[in-house]
Every structure is written in C-alpha cells, then in structure tokens.
Amino acid sequence: MKAILGYRWLLSATVAIALLAPGTAFAKDYTVAILQSLSGPTAFVGVAVKDGATLAAEELNNQQFLGAGNTLKILIGDDGADRGQVVTMMQQYAADSDVLLVMGPTAGPIAVAGMAVANDRKLPTISTTNSLAALQVGPWGFIMTSPAAVAIPSIAGYTVEKLKAKACATVHIVDNEAHVTLQKLFEDYVVARGVKIVAREGIKGTDSDFAALATKITAMDDIDCLYLGALAPQAANVVRQLRQAGLDPKVRIVGTNALASPDLLSKGGTAVEGVYFMADWAPGGNSDDGRKFVDAYKAKFSNLPENWNAMGYSVMRVIATALKNAGAQPTRESVREALTKTKDVPVVVGRGLYSMDADRIPHYGMSVLMVKDGKFVVAP
C-alpha cells in the first residue's frame, strides 16, 4: 500500500513539475479544420487550397508563430462538393470544442449550407467562395476571395482599356449564382464604357457538348471579345470547340479567376493560347515573400504553385494572425472578432496585403494573366 501511495505521490509531483516547466506550462493546440472539395467537380480548387494551407501551417509552426510550444493543429476533411456531406462535416466540427475555425467549404452553393450550420452553432467559418450569399447567412461566416464587385473591374477594365474591345458576346454558367453575378457585373462595367453586348449565351455546369454554341458564336462577325464564365476544365473544353469551329483569332477571350488552374492548360492545350483572365496570384510571385513561397512549395510538392495554392497559403496566414490576436485563451467568439479586424496581413496574393472591411469583404488586389507559350504570365 505504501508503495502504491508513494508511486501516486511521485506521479503527481512529476505532473506538477511538467506543468511548471518553462515552454510547456501553457502550450496548447489551436485547432483549425480545413474542409475543402478533395473530390467532386471542384476538387481542382479544393485540393490546391488544402495543399497551400497545410504548407503555411507547417511554416508557421516551425516559426512558432503562435508562441513557444504552441501548435497550429490541422484537421482535413472532404466536403465532396455535396450539400449533405458539408452539413454533416460542419456539425461534427461544431460539436468538437477544440475546433476554433473551419477553412471551407469550397464552392458557393454548398458554402451557404455550411454557413447556415456555422451561424447556428457559432463557429467561425471562412469559405473559399467569393459569393456574398455566404456572408448574408450570418456574422460567423467569412469568404476568402474578393467578391465579384471587388474583383471584376480588373479583367473588365483590362478588356476595355488594354484590349480595346468594342463588341462582346458572353458565355457563362447559369446554374451557379457566382457565375451569374460575375457575368452581370462584367457586362455592366463594359457597357457603361461603350462596349456593346452582342449575345448572351448560358450553359450548365455539367454541359460538355458545345458544338452548336461554337457554331453560333463563330458565325458572329461583329464581335471582338468573348467573356467566358466557367470553371477551368469546362472553359478549356468550350475554347477548344470554339477554335475547332473556326473562331476568328481577332476575338479576345477573357474570363475570371475560375480559369486560374493548370486544368485550363492541360485540357485546353494550344487552343487556350492568348486567353486572358483575372487571378489572385501572379506566377512566380511579385514580392520576396512570393518568391520564397514558390521555392518552398516546389520543394514540398515538386511542382510550381498556382492560383489556389497561393490563396490557401495566404488565407492560412490570415487565420493564424486572427488566432494570435484572439487572446491568450482564444474562443470561437474572440477568433471571429479578430477576423473582422483583419488589416494588412502580409500574403503572397494580390498586392501583398490582406484586409477585411466592415462588411467582412476581403481586399488584396487582383492581377490579369494570359496564356502564353503554354504558361500563365502576367498580361502586358
């Protein structure tokens, strides 16, 4: 009995000493769930965001960004681009008191469903989408990327001022609110500056046969611009069929950051040469931090980063900054409050600084890229 009591005393003393030891007394995990489309039609975005975010988390932990001994702990989940799956995953994260924030879901329609759970359970959630509908659900939701009204002037302005467009046709996905909004804002911007919209053509996100559409557009001899609002794999297919149908080379094709994926190049081949689009990330980086990110990403993944890698990397740094500013014992409420005060966080996208305005809208600036010699380059 004495031996048992002595063992218990020794164990208690050991625990007490460990708790008092420098560097371990208050060491804790800051848990963030990365919930992205790792499967399904938007996996090309979700996987890239996840890879960039996990690289950032590793670097932040190596730097002890959250304090000596503290760890940014990452949980990874697949939203499957499916509403039911998103709701289930969000409920699981909400029930786990260790989870301080969810980075996701990926796409607009399912993001809104995820935000509904987040607001009901008071769990800070920052989705990849730029849809304002995700913000309108309630105060616990945030978006990673600049919404259409903030982003579209970059490519619309380039279309008018640099490409000197006079008459445009538009093709965009009609069963996705984000693409509908982007098309409308693009049209409003260019029309206000004297550009004529000759035709508006709608497609569905699941369409793959564009032969009739391509024939119709190539028959238009009065356009010098085509706005294309679709995800990169589908957009590449549209462009290929337009080229096969004999689209006049004078027609400049422009699009949104949905085109900023290697899928545009791999699936479009030489057909997408000369396509212009707005992007969060300038290839190769436009700052010392951007170039360091390129080196680190290439060392880890053996290939160069693209738009959504850079976006995930940048937003994880925004999240870590909010966690750091949320107090010594951060709660979901203090993390949400810290996110609303995000200002000038160094990132590798846009102009290099990331801020949230009073309406939780992110601002960081956009670049205009083009496909040249099979690569994405900054447009002249």
Q: Where are the alpha helices (DSSP H) in the chain?
A: 2-20, 43-62, 83-95, 108-121, 132-136, 148-161, 177-191, 211-218, 232-244, 262-268, 288-301, 307-324, 332-340
Tell which CATH architecture fits domain 29-146+286-365.
3-Layer(aba) Sandwich (3.40)
- At 343-363, the pLDDT tens digits run 999 999 998 999 999 999 999
- At 148-165, the pLDDT tens digits run 899 999 999 999 999 999
- Please give the single-letter amino acid code of residue 142: F
> Mutual orientation of helices 43-62 and 288-301 as an angle, nearest 10°?
110
* Mean pLDDT score, 53-71: 97
What is the pLDDT of the chain when averaged over all its residues?
91
How confident is the model at residue 1, as a pLDDT? 47
Spatial separation of the C-alpha atoms in residues 117 and 96, rounded to whole Å: 14
Q: Where are the domains of the chain?
A: 29-146+286-365, 149-279
- What is the fold of 149-279? Rossmann fold (3.40.50)
Q: Comparing 29-146+286-365 with 149-279, is the CATH topology the same? A: yes
Range with the poorest average pLDDT among 3-17, 220-234, 287-301: 3-17
* Mean pLDDT score, 329-349: 97
Predicted confidence (pLDDT) at residue 11 exceeds the cutoff of 70: no
How confident is the model at residue 135, as a pLDDT? 94
Spatial separation of the C-alpha atoms in residues 76 and 58, rounded to whole Å: 14
Residue burial 303-317, b: 16+ Cβ < 10 Å; e: rest: eebbbbbbbbbbbbb
User: Cα dist. 186→28, 76, 165, 277, 350 in Å?
Assistant: 47, 35, 13, 12, 20
How confident is the model at residue 26, as a pLDDT? 62
Q: Which two tokens stand for residue 265?
A: 């190049």
Predicted confidence (pLDDT) at residue 22 exceeds the cutoff of 70: no
Range with the poorest average pLDDT among 26-30, 132-136, 168-172: 26-30
- Vertex 329 angle, CA 326 and 331, to 5°: 65
- At 94-144, the pLDDT tens digits run 999 999 999 999 987 899 999 999 999 999 999 998 888 899 999 999 999
Predicted confidence (pLDDT) at residue 9 exceeds the cutoff of 50: no
Whether pTM > 0.85 for this model: the answer is: no
